[in-house]
Structure 1
Amino acid sequence: MKNRPLAVMCLVFLVIRCLVFWAGAKWEFPPEVLRMDGEKICVSGRIFKREQREKGPTWYLRAGDRAYIIYSSEWSDYRIGNTIIVTGTFHLFERASNPGTFDSRSYYQNQNIYGMIFPESIKVTDNTIQYGKEWITSLRERWKKELLDRMGDEGAVLSGILLGDKSALDPEVKELYQKNGIAHLLAVSGLHVSFIGLLIYRTMRKAGVPFSGSAALGILVLLPYAVMTGFSVSARRAVYMYFIRMGAEVTGRVYDLLTSLVVSAAVIVGTAPLSVFDPGFLLSFGAIFAIWGGEELRIRLEELKDKERKKEKTPGIKRKKTIRQKLLWAAYPGLCIQLLTFPVLLSSYYEFPLYSVLVNIWVIPMMSVVMGAGLLGSICCLVLPPLADVILWISKAVLMFYEWNCRIMLKLPLARIVTGKPDTIQILLYLFLLMLVYLLFRKGKGKSGMSALIFALTLLLGPWSQHYGELKVTMIDVGQGDGILIRMPGGLDCLVDGGSTSEEMLAKYTLEPFLESKRIRMLDYVLISHGDTDHISGIQEMLERQEVGVGIRTLVLPEQHLWDEGLENLARTAKRAGTKVRTMKAGEAIRDRAGTELSCLGPSEEYGGEPGNEASMILKLSSGKFSMLFTGDLEGAGEEDFLQGESGSGTYTVLKVPHHGSDGAATEAFLEQNNARYALISAGKDNPYGHPGEKLLKRLETCGIQTFCTKEDGAITLLVKGETMTIRKFLE
């Protein structure tokens, strides 16, 4: 760094800026904003962005130092630059209430967006239009429509690649790209922006245009394009680096990639310090830094080889590279990027595609074909429409190959390695060891470097966070529904129920991210209390997406005469998915090798009621002195049947309160016969049933039972080790 004074200055600035920001950072919105949640408000501000989404138009409003998103179901001709007064209901974005799930509030807070407004009325007070931004936005909308009309589903993919607009993209295709490690293609990244800028610059130079003219034309096209695609962190990084590169070209200076990268980081963090928490920032800058470091190391290794040849007195002899060596060097840049960005990827997705480096060897070079044909075909839509379809078909063919390739790769053994979310100490030690690996290779100590690299990867990817030896029970916040994970000391992973009536796509957005963050790729048992939607919707979804989600080995249902239509459909789906289906009746149990037991207490053989809530399967978890009673939606005749049976009385450490804490659940008779120190309730925020009911809470309080509820606490985890139990609330 001694020959890079500007880079050193910017690094010092970055450290100081981050320390000053963290010292005075406010990690939550002001109290007055928090109190506004769900209230009717009136806000005046200027529209600075417009988007057309599937559910309707969206406007971004800036009011002083705050920004809001306005969602509407009806299109109105509001323009960027208009000043409006909005009256409507304000809502904060949801916080993550489970480990591993997406935190919408933090995501938008990083962009200084305070919340969303559902308008009742909008009044324009100033018709001023920012014509530049309005024209760019209109161009983006027309461009997207043209691609969709001419290319269909592949047009939605190309729209994401060229325009950064993924609103029309099939969620299944998006997930295929992510699971194969090529989701970066769908974001308008520095790769895309750099491609556009350098294509224009080099074309102009070949045409004889001077350095300054070529650079200026590139900037004039590049900057509006970056703005049109959303001006993401990676796009900003590419624009700033392009400016610096063109400055070096015009002035005849040597362009230094590292200095350019650090200066760009200083500019972005200086203006938006929360960017350092954006995975896009870390991935974009990490990837370029890895490319720089990898190239420096490659040059150093070539120098060491030359020295060896000179010692052997054969300086002029160079062996021809084998196919294996060529493939290795082709994969080398992707491998460098993968190694450095591993912690970010694992912290965001909790898994990595084993074959992603291999896939990217042919996918990334083909991107120049996709983008080149896409841009040329888009231009032809304006000047020569008949030719546009022919050229765009080239992009379509490559994108169809991408999708086919993704589906094939997922069928290979070990295509997905679920690692869970690494701890901070794991990440820090891994990065330290990675630096050591780099230094060892630079000194020509390849064997020591490889050993250090294997140790670093083992440290990051190894099963250090496994739960063996302790019992963990987590009541997952699934909204208005039930879902409880049991991790037994002997290694069995069981899920009791998994459904919701308030959360859409529960498996994809709640259950699977939570499970994968805990390093769970396959559940040993999923036990279903009864067939209501709020107990099975997520399980149904999981069974249908086991290839890209979390697998289920065995589905455990109540006895068949208690099945309703929901359980019958669930059993059929499980059999189609290759999941074993078994039933469980009172007296049967699942045991792990450490002696932990999950036994069935009801319904009894004498129960003659109808399927549904009353017929809920009742379970007891026992491990040493710890015990927990699982009650599904038990009530009415089912509760009476249970209380009259041999297992109807007991003392438990924890009670899972029946039926989400409704007033009719856990009657006085039930609580008299079944004592507990703690009670857990699963209920959704602002649910229409008023769960948990005041009468129920009063009964629990009278019995001296301490109560926890997912509605306020988020996910609730019980950690049992020996005779000690710890209760942790995710939303402290």
Structure 2
Amino acid sequence: MGRVRPPLPLLLGIALLTLVAIGKSGEIRERAADGLGEGMPPREASLARGFVLGEDEEIDEGTKEDFRRAGLSHLLAVSGQNVTLLALLAMPVLGALGISLRLRLFWVLGLIAVYVPVAGAGPSIQRAGVMGALGLLATLAGRRSSRFYALVVAAALTLAIDPGIAADIGWQLSFAAVFGILILAAPLARAIASRIGSGSWRRALAEGIAMTTAATLATAPLIAFHFETLSTTTMVANVLALPAVAPAMWLGMCAAGLAQVPGVPLEPLNGLNALLLAYIAEVASWCATPDWAEVQVHLDGRGLTAAYLALGLGILAWRRWPRQCLALSAAALALWLPLPRGIGEGGATAAPTHGLRVEVLDVGQGDAILFQSAAAPAVLVDGGPPRAGLERKLEQAGVERLGAAVVTHDQSDHAGGVEELLGSMPVDRLLIARAGRDLVARARAAGATVERVAAGREMRSGPLRLQVLWPPPDLAAAPGTIADPNQLALVIEARWGEFSMLLTADAEAEAVPLDPGPVDVLKVAHHGSDDAGLAALLERTRPQLAVISVGDGNPYGHPTAGTLATLERHRVPTLRTDEDGTVVIDVYRHSFRLDG
């Protein structure tokens, strides 16, 4: 008996509905986003949108940082996992409606075609959509589908549409992860299953661990090359999160689908999903907490090539001597995990600094220091005075959003520009020691999270670390004990791998008892005003460069002759924004250089 073919008019109807839905993908996405937030706490609602739609704009930076350090960031970006779970959800639902297998395949093909643009049509979901469609078409044609062939075709099609996509990090990671899974997942799953025993849940666990391991190994060199960090807890985090990921995705997809129908109550569905998402977030937080949760690893182009050659040789060796390689891998992992920073000593183990740009912006008589990298949103420390063109300068630097703005103290030459910026540019967090009510109210009205900080607080943005050195919490909480507000300004040490920069705001060394170690760059306090403690600070910090943020022709005589003489006497090269304009420092693995 031959296969029953669905009527042609029905297939044309499915195709027409698919095309109409694709044309309205923006509206579908908007309704889905609203539905995914219905009745959910803010954190869980933002995670649901990230899981299903790839929207991460509303996820707070602390949660993003936890997911990144725990190696769970892939859950916040739609990818092949989403397409697979969509198909696994749709097939039994359609089957329960009495729809034949072949017609179900056509419907799933249409769903995938709609889901790709609804989920943002990024490189990962494009690749997954093409591979899923090819697999379904092969099944409909009665042929066995080759996943390697589908991967190659997906790469060719996405490159044909946009050749420049090859430089996209997401595109590279997506194809590397899938290739690793195709090569390694099946033999790894068999090896793990042979040790943990049979049974459906054990088999599912073995497959989950195998896929995570395969994707992690395949993408690790690229992650090290682009972001210069690797998570050491990713395996544990992914295994712990694994039981909740698929149910959370399915519940989110159901909510997104039902949100297209007006009046359908989504609170019960979202309430259950919120529990799963909260669990995953707690796993991420727990696995991100140890200092050794991530290590910094530098790979240049040659190192990247060598890493993939070594990985290929390792795969060949493992297939021939699996037990010996498994034992060696376990031993290597046991030695590697406890290391707090880097991997051993020297060579590729040193903390990298490539990929950070620091700009001491020329904002006149004020301070504004911008930190940018590919690994995390930009961070701004102070914003200069009002009407100094801060927003324009940030836009010229390519900044469309700030992960954090730090205001060292509430004086207009430091806080004025930030206050102007709030509301006109997205700012995720505002970090302050103390600030006036107007600034705090404006920040909250603009949707920024406000956090008060003091000595001992470390702020993270990707590999960038901002350590608050001053003022101590007791002084920050009781500012009336010190008359000069400059003495309560936040003093921050910024670190990126081996690079360090001391940001002294207006806190002159004479009045602020600091004992930092050596730094690469010193931002001179209070625009270069007289500071009797500067000489001692220079002896302790031994900077290779000093930068003075100061306005041209200012009425205060900054920088003073005494400050310049002290810097010259200690042979510290000095740049000034009034004479040199914006000072741009590009940071590399073992060094930094001035741009321009």
TM-score (norm 2): 0.64
Residue number in structure 2 paired with 1:265:
155
Shift of 1:453: 8.9
Offset, 1:390? 1.7
Is 1:444 the counterpart of 2:444? The answer is no
1:223-252 deviation digits (Å, cap 9, x = unpaired):
122111211111111111112101211122
* Paired letter, 1:444: W
User: Is the CA contact (8 Å cut-off) linking 1:286 and 1:341 kept in structure 2?
Assistant: yes
Q: Give the match for residue 148 of structure 1.
A: 37
Q: Does 1:423 align with 2:312?
A: no
Separation in structure 2 between the aligned mates of residue 226 and residue 219 of structure 1, nearest angstrom: 11
Structure 1 or 2: more helix by fraction: 2
Aligned to 1:476: 358
Instruction: Give a deviation string over 1:108-166, Cα, whole Å, max 9, x none.
Output: xxxxxxxxxxxxxxxxxxxxxx9766632122222322332332422232122222333
Query: What's the % identity of the aligned pairs?
Result: 18
SS state of the match for residue 142, structure 1?
helix
The 8 Å contact of residues 487 and 507 in structure 2, kept in 1 or not, is answered as no
1:715 is matched with which residue?
A: 586
Secondary structure of residue in 1 paired with 2:37: helix
Name 1:335's counterpart in structure 2: 213
- How big is the shift at 1:364? 3.3
Matches within 5 A, 1:325-724: 330-380=208-258, 385=263, 388-411=266-289, 413-414=290-291, 416-444=293-321, 446-447=323-324, 451=328, 461-464=343-346, 476-479=358-361, 481=367, 499-501=382-384, 533=414, 540=453, 544-546=457-459, 555=469, 564-565=484-485, 567-568=487-488, 570=490, 631-633=524-526, 635=528, 638=530, 656-660=546-550, 662-663=552-553, 664-666=557-559, 675=568, 679-681=573-575, 692-693=577-578, 697=579, 711=582, 713-715=584-586
Name the SS of the counterpart of 1:476 in structure 2.
Answer: strand
> Aligned pair 1:287/2:189, yes or no?
no
**Is the 1:618–1:630 Cα contact (8 Å) retained in structure 2?**
no
Question: In structure 2, what residue type is equivalent to 1:243?
Answer: A
- From 105, 108, 112, the equivalent of 1:222 is 112
- The one-letter code matched in structure 1 to 2:309 is F
| Contact 2:29–2:118 (8 Å) recurs in 1 | yes
Which deviates more from structure 2 when the two are superposed, residues 289-298 or residues 475-484?
475-484
Deviates more, 1:143-152 or 1:655-664: 655-664
User: How far apart in 2 are the matches of 1:276 and 1:476?
Assistant: 28
Does 2:593 align with 1:728?
A: yes
User: SS in structure 2 opposite 1:195?
Assistant: helix
SS of the counterpart of 1:259?
A: helix
Q: Which residue of 2 aligns with 1:5?
A: none
Indicate the residue corresponding to 1:196 in structure 2.
86
Q: Which 10-residue stretch deviates more, 353-362 or 380-389?
A: 380-389
- Contact kept? 2:116, 2:126, Cα under 8 Å: yes
- In 2, distance between residues paired with 1:566 and 1:668? 21
Question: Which deviates further from its counterpart, 395-404 or 383-392?
Answer: 383-392
CA contact (8 A) 1:194 1:239 kept: no
Contact 1:276 1:282 in 2 (8 A): yes
- 2:314 is aligned with what amino acid? V
CA contact 2:25–2:114 (8 Å) conserved in 1: yes
1:232 counterpart residue number = 122
Structure 1, unmatched stretches of 5+, are 1-129, 306-317, 486-496, 513-526, 580-597, 603-610, 683-691, 698-707, 720-725
RMSD in angstroms over aligned alpha carbons?
5.5
Evaluate the alpha carbon distance shift between residue 654 and residue 244 of structure 1 in structure 2; reply closer, same or farther with a 3 A threshold: closer
Q: Secondary structure at the match of 1:477?
A: strand
| Superposed CA offset, 1:74-112 (max 9, x none) | xxxxxxxxxxxxxxxxxxxxxxxxxxxxxxxxxxxxxxx
- Go from structure 1 to structure 2 and tell me whether the alpha carbon gap of 1:157 and 1:658 turns closer, same or farther (over 3 Å shift): closer
CA contact (8 A) 2:41 2:274 kept: no
CA distance in 2, matches of 1:330, 1:661: 59
Distance 2:432 2:312 in 1: 43
Greater shift in the superposed pair: 444-453 or 153-162: 444-453
- Partner of 1:656, secondary structure, is strand
One-letter code aligned to 1:332: A
**Counterpart-to-counterpart distance in 1, 2:589 and 2:154:** 45
Matched, 1:247 2:137: yes
TM-score normalised to the size of structure 1? Answer: 0.54
Determine the structure 2 residue equivalent to 1:136.
25
Distance 1:261 1:484 in 2: 40
Q: CA deviation at 1:261?
A: 1.0
Alignment check: 8 A CA contact 2:113 2:129 kept = yes
Deviation at 1:614, TM superposition (A): 10
Separation in 2 of the partners of 1:147 and 1:321? Answer: 38
- Alpha carbons 1:440, 1:449 under 8 Å: kept: no
Kindly state the Cα deviation for residue 208 of structure 1 after the two structures are TM-superposed: 5.9
Q: Residue deviations 1:365-412, cap 9 Å, x none? A: 42221222233344555669565322222212211222233333344x
- SS for the counterpart of 2:24 is helix
- Per-residue deviation at 1:619? 11
- CA deviation vs aligned residue, 1:496-547 (integer Å, no higher than 9, x gap): x9655459999985999xxxxxxxxxxxxxx99x998489969958954558
Structure 2: segments with no counterpart, 5+ residues: 1-18, 372-379, 385-389, 419-429, 434-452, 476-480, 494-500
- Cα distance per residue 1:248-295 (max 9 Å; x no partner): 111221122111111111111222222222221122112211111113
> Taking structure 1 as reference, are residues 180 and 630 closer, same or farther at Cα in structure 2, changes over 3 Å only?
closer
- CA distance in 2 between partners of 1:133 and 1:499 (Å): 45
CA distance in 2, matches of 1:614, 1:461: 36
Q: Is the 8 A contact 2:32 2:257 kept in 1?
A: no
- Structure 2: how far apart are the matches of 1:672 and 1:415? 43
Aligned-partner residue type, residue 138 of structure 1: E
Helix, strand or coil: the match of 1:366?
Answer: helix
Distance, in Å, in 1 between the alignment partners of 2:592 and 2:192 is 57
Amino acid at match of 2:47: V
Q: Which one has a bigger Cα radius of gyration? A: 1
User: Conserved in 2, the CA contact under 8 Å of 1:483 and 1:499?
Assistant: yes
Structure richer in strand, relative to its length: 1
Mapped contact 2:360–2:583 kept (Cα < 8 A): no
2:284 aligned counterpart, secondary structure: helix
* CA deviation map 1:597-646 (0-9, x unaligned): x99xx9xxxxxxxx8679687999999xx99987423555x26x689x99
Contact 1:500-1:538 within 8 A present in 2 as well = no
Relative to 1, partners in 2 of residues 1:462 and 1:211: Cα closer, same or farther, differing over 3 Å?
Answer: farther
